[in-house]
Amino acid sequence: MPSILSPAMSLQGKTLPSDQIGASMKVLLANPRGFCAGVNMAIDCLEECIRIFGPEIYVYHEIVHNRYVVNRFSQEGVKFVDDLEEVPPGSILLYSAHGVSPAIRAQARARNLRAIDATCPLVTKVHLEAIKFANAGYNIVLIGHEGHDEVIGTMGEAPQSITLVETAEEVDALPFSQTDKLAYLTQTTLSVEEANLVILRLLERYPAIESPDKEDICYATTNRQHAVRELIGQADLLLVLGSQNSSNSRRLMEIGLAENRPAYLIDGQSELHEEWFQGVSTVLVTAGASAPEIVVQECLKYLEDRFGAAVEEITTRAEHVTFPLPKELRAMQQV
């Protein structure tokens, strides 16, 4: 944990400016935060591939939605692609944590690519549910964000059977009747509250609609949102470490904004602006499920050095989930 120092003390050889002496900033550090089990697995998968095969590896889309992580692997020589035509035949190819459609898998086989599936098991669960419902003749309402990698992959499992909605208002425009066989699924990284609004509207309009056996929004998304909701009332400002294209990170920022708190989604310390903290006594810091702890610690150090901030880590829920490496990679380790 970062050190907790009085504002008037010298910090690692740095003395606070005179206008900050006597300031009393407090940082509430949310826990759980940062990497979830699916992200840990995907990153471990890529690291193990580099160890076995070297860095000449291709990843379909970003391995996770985080600039720091992607830049780190890019600097090692890993290539992230959005089109499999960019991947030479016979190459090692990783599917990202967000999953891919059957069409992408077929294209990879046609190009004789050695594919390793780093899809989060909780995303795979949604894919399997989509297949199950589609095979049973259901029309599936998928609650999610258009264009998100996870949504594209899920819809690709049964494109003729899936209709995407994002808001409760969009439910009213659905063409189905109450006699149609309907089921709903959700993207794993949604706001729990916003997803529930859509689900409630679906149940109002289609009381017989089927649901997944277990909710699709992942445990990590739920836990990080719960922590922010529990702590935001004590804070004047919210900092979320995560990238702009990270759905679960954006949902955390939106919780702060909904509570009328200034809330910022940033990749790291270099994006902080000192004026954000004028008149702020308590800052809540968290990180999305794809943000590494190093960027959190760099921001805490900035707040300590500049404002003499005292850091208090608060745990709202415990997490003990882990996922094994993909079976095809485990098999390669044994060769």
101 compared with 331, residue with greater pLDDT: 101
Instruction: Encode pLDDT of 292-301 as tens digits.
Output: 999 999 999 9
What does the pLDDT average to over 170-187? Answer: 97
> CB–CB of 242/249 below 8 Å?
yes
Local confidence band at 332 (pLDDT 50, 70, 90 cut-offs): confident
Q: What is the mean pLDDT of the chain?
A: 92
What amino acid positions are annotated as catalytic residues? 150
Percent of the chain topping pLDDT 90:
90
What does the pLDDT average to over 218-244? Answer: 98
User: d(Cα 185, Cα 182) in Å, to the nearest integer?
Assistant: 10
What does the pLDDT average to over 186-213? Answer: 96
Question: How far from the centroid of its chain's Cα atoms is residue 276's Cα?
Answer: 25
Question: How far from the centroid of its chain's Cα atoms is residue 42's Cα?
Answer: 12
Q: Is the pLDDT of residue 211 over 80?
A: yes
Task: Delineate the domains of the chain, giving CATH numbers in brackets.
Answer: 18-35+219-315 (3.40.1010.20), 37-120 (3.40.50.11270), 122-205 (3.40.1010.20)
Least confident of 73-82, 85-94, 184-193, 321-330: 321-330
Report the pLDDT value the prediction gives residue 335, as an integer from 0 to 100: 57
Please name which of 140, 230, 163, 220 lies closest in space to residue 188, comparing C-alpha atoms.
220
Q: Cβ–Cβ contacts within 10 Å for residue 20, how many?
A: 15
